[in-house]
Structure 1
Amino acid sequence: MTDRPHRPETIAAGALGFEDAASGAVIPPIHPSTTYIRDPDNGYDRGRVYARADNPTFDIPARTITELEKGADTLLFASGMAAATAVFQALDPGDHVIVPDVMYWAFRNWVHGPATRWGLRVEGVDSSDTDAVRAALRPGETRLVWLETPANPLWTVTDIAAVAELAHEAGAWLAVDSTVATPVLTRPLELGADIVMHSATKYLNGHSDVVAGTLTAARKDEFWSRIKAVQTQQGGILGSFEAWLLQRGLRTLFARVRWQCAAAMTLAERLSAHPQVAEVLYPGLPGFRGHGIASRQMTGGFGGMLSIRVKGGTQAAIDTAAHVGVWRRATSLGGVESLIEHRASIEGPTSPVPGDLLRLSVGLESPDDLFEDLGQALNRASRQG
């Protein structure tokens, strides 16, 4: 490899400057082997023992993400849920943890379900309210504060630096789910977080063809060693091909996210004036509650995700999603295709999401086509009502 460049766009696009020494290839290879030859003395001088922890295909995507996040180490997992739950599984029974009221629904269900049955004391707060976080912290008892910002699907924004200071004063670690912001827009470790998590299924891969998760640590401390042990012992790792697809997706990360941010901003502004839209939830809008904080901790854009609340209520929102053509009715986000989803139907009766809300993941299509398609669907649903 050549010397590592310093600008993040070049780090991502160049796969850390990879060049194959034998062939001159610029594309990193896939290593499917599950095991490695021992040395004659029964040792492993080449550093590889077994693929659950030592797959060379992990090296470039893990190092790339570490460099982009300006961290000390990165672990790759089989999914975002595997990555997130590993952090909680590294805690001790009886530890007090704080989580947001608004967060990815599957993980919210897990932390208030299995995590509590394993003995963790889980407390939900409005994490966008720094005073609420301060009031919930129990010095000497709170071991972890978990944030998601912007938070899916209301896109509430939390002040990472302010919460980091509070968490550390109380003796707690701070972990941030930065899936929506990506390292293109926000680097939580630079704002004081100890761990940053990504559902790499989304923007890091960006092509809707890999399920993956990542954790990056600010430092290799005792807690990080615990997390690594959880990953290795429980085996929630990527396969070789999935790791290779992840590093392929990382090479276009900056180009994709910047386009999606610009398109999402255009749509947010235009949808705000649509007669069938009651409200647009997007951190880039000046009237959005968390806009000021987002402006400080998100650089270069406000993300490719927004939500709209449809006039006419739940049925009008469902009917709108039924009449789109360019948008795809599907779960997930961060891919090249634009997705629309009625979240309350997915999340069920315990969801904090209003029934009139539609979540929008902006892809790489023309913003004009996306607006015209959604506009006709909104108008058609209004006439049906």
Structure 2
Amino acid sequence: MTHGFATRAIHEGQEFDPTTGAIIPPIYQTSTFVQDGIGGLRGGYEYGRAANPTRTSLETLLASLEGGVRRSGDHIVLGNDAYGGTHRLIDRIHSEWGIRNTTVDLADLDAVRAALGTDGTRMLWIETPSNPLMKISDIAALVELGQAVGAVVVVDNTFASPALQQPLSFGADVVVHSTTKYLGGHSDVIGGALIFADEELAEKAQFLQFAAGAVSSPMDAW
């Protein structure tokens, strides 16, 4: 049976606690999990930086709602009205690692096509609606252009949320969210989320997440 969006938004990832029967998953405020001998992981958890049941609950929910790595010398194409924090990270930080970028009006498909023709283009970053100008981009058309040159197409879906659009259904490779905004909804969380269409790409991101330790706390995930 296929459940609708509203049903999945309420129930997905909300498995009852097998120990107590509580219908709301608890907050697992722990850094380490007991192992039954070497490699004997209970439920697949060992260390909070790698995975946590509370965070898994959130990840399962977001993956359901959405339907769903760069090196020196690479090139990124992004909108000229991208969120300031995103542009700062790509233009000021990634540039020091030798990663180049071009900003274009994503509504101008000819300009996007020309920018994607730059040697070494590995990613097309789409933000729609954009923050704060609320410009709308044609996800399907941009996905076609990006994937034609072998670029990973990333869509920042923060301002629409999966309630209004699911970019993976238009062929996007990755969906990005600031969970601080509509997904959190109460101005009490600082966090982000990535949802992947491809399992291999997801595994690369998970390795980086584990190595760098950029994870949501159990309280934030709950």
| Interval containing the TM-score (normalised by the shorter chain) | over 0.9
| Counterpart-to-counterpart distance in 1, 2:122 and 2:18 | 46
Deviation, structure 1 residue 18: 2.5
**4+ residue segments displaced more than 6 Å:** none
| Counterpart-to-counterpart distance in 2, 1:28 and 1:17 | 6
Q: Is the 8 A contact 1:5 1:11 kept in 2?
A: no
Does 1:44 pair with 2:40? yes
User: Percent identity, aligned pairs only?
Assistant: 40
> Greater CA radius of gyration, 1 or 2?
1
| Counterpart-to-counterpart distance in 2, 1:21 and 1:208 | 31
Q: Is the 8 A contact 1:178 1:188 kept in 2?
A: yes
Q: Is the 8 A contact 1:139 1:171 kept in 2?
A: no
Deviation, structure 1 residue 224: 3.0
Residue correspondences, number: 221
Residue identity matched to 2:59? A
Deviation, structure 1 residue 110: 1.8
Does 1:232 pair with 2:210? yes
| Counterpart-to-counterpart distance in 2, 1:227 and 1:17 | 24
| Counterpart-to-counterpart distance in 2, 1:60 and 1:5 | 19
Tell me what 2:67 maps to: 70
**Aligned match for 2:114, one of 131, 135, 143:** 135
Q: Normalized per residue, which structure has more helix?
A: 1
TM score, norm. by length of structure 1: 0.55
Q: Deviations over 1:204-261 (max 9, x none)?
A: 111111111000001112x3333222211111111111111xxxxxxxxxxxxxxxxx
TM score, norm. by length of structure 2: 0.94
Residue identity matched to 2:7? T
Tell me what 1:94 maps to: 73
Tell me what 1:166 maps to: 145
Alignment map for 1:1-385 (pairs within 5 Å): 6-40=3-37, 42-46=38-42, 47-71=44-68, 90-138=69-117, 141-221=120-200, 223-244=201-222
Deviation, structure 1 residue 17: 4.9
Q: Which runs of 5+ in 2 are unaligned?
A: none
Residue identity matched to 2:45? R
Residue identity matched to 1:238? S
1:67 partner SS: helix
Q: Which runs of 5+ in 1 are unaligned?
A: 72-89, 245-385
Deviation, structure 1 residue 20: 2.4
